[in-house]
Amino acid sequence: QLQLQESGPGLVKPSETLSLTCTVSGGSISSSGYYWGWIRQPPGKGLEWIGNINYSGNTYCNPSLKSRVTISVETSKNQFSLRLNSVTAADTAVYYCSRRQGASSFRDYWGQGTQVTVSS
């Protein structure tokens, strides 16, 4: 059974960089045909797609965040990561990592989510 687990600081100061890692267990992140992505949810609000990456490192990001977002994959650790720089209070959210099957809208596995608060 595939499992995804987010990890990273729960508190980030304004203007600094938010860094999260998603560790994949029960399967290989290097398997072709999958996209690994990040989605966030501000308190009391809806879901927002941040971006995704495939096993070969091809990335796609939300245009509204593109200038601040870096998504990378580390196959040796079976992990992928999110970096969001110059954060503000508007970046406070629960951040989820997920897997999507390629050529499909099927996001079949999700992490439990991790709360990140931006505050001084």
Partner 1 sequence: QSALTQPASVSASPGQSITISCTGTNNDVGVYNYVSWYQQHPGKAPKVMIYDVNNRPSGVSNRFSGSKSGSTASLTISGLQAEDEADYYCSSYTTSSTWVFGGGTKLTVL
Number of helices (H), then strands (E), belonging to the chain: the values are 0, 11
Question: Closer CB to partner 1, residue 64 or residue 86?
Answer: 64
How far is the C-alpha of 40 from the C-alpha of 87, rounded, in Å?
A: 14
Judged by CB under 8 A, the number of residues near partner 1 is 22
Under the binding rule (CB under 8 A), the answer on residue 111 touching partner 1 is yes
1 near partner 1 (CB under 8 A): no
Is residue 28 within 8 Å of residue 78, measured between CB atoms?
yes
Tokens of 120: 């001084």
104 in contact with partner 1 (CB under 8 A): yes
Q: How far is the CB of 71 from partner 1 (least distance, A)?
A: 13
Does position 61 bind partner 1 by CB under 8 A? yes
Which residue stretch of 16-24, 25-33, 45-53, 75-83 sits at the interface with partner 1 (rule: CB under 8 A)?
Answer: 45-53
Nearer to partner 1 (CB atom), residue 32 or residue 105: 105
Member of 46, 67, 88, 119 binding partner 1 (CB under 8 A): 46
Q: Does residue 118 contact residue 74 with C-beta atoms inside 8 Å? A: no
Per the CB < 8 A criterion, the answer to whether 97 and 110 are in contact is yes
Task: Sort residue 77 into left (φ over 0), alpha (ψ -120 to 50) or beta.
Answer: alpha
Q: Please give the residue ranges that form the binding site for partner 1 (CB under 8 A).
A: 37, 39, 46-49, 52, 60-64, 96, 104-108, 110-113
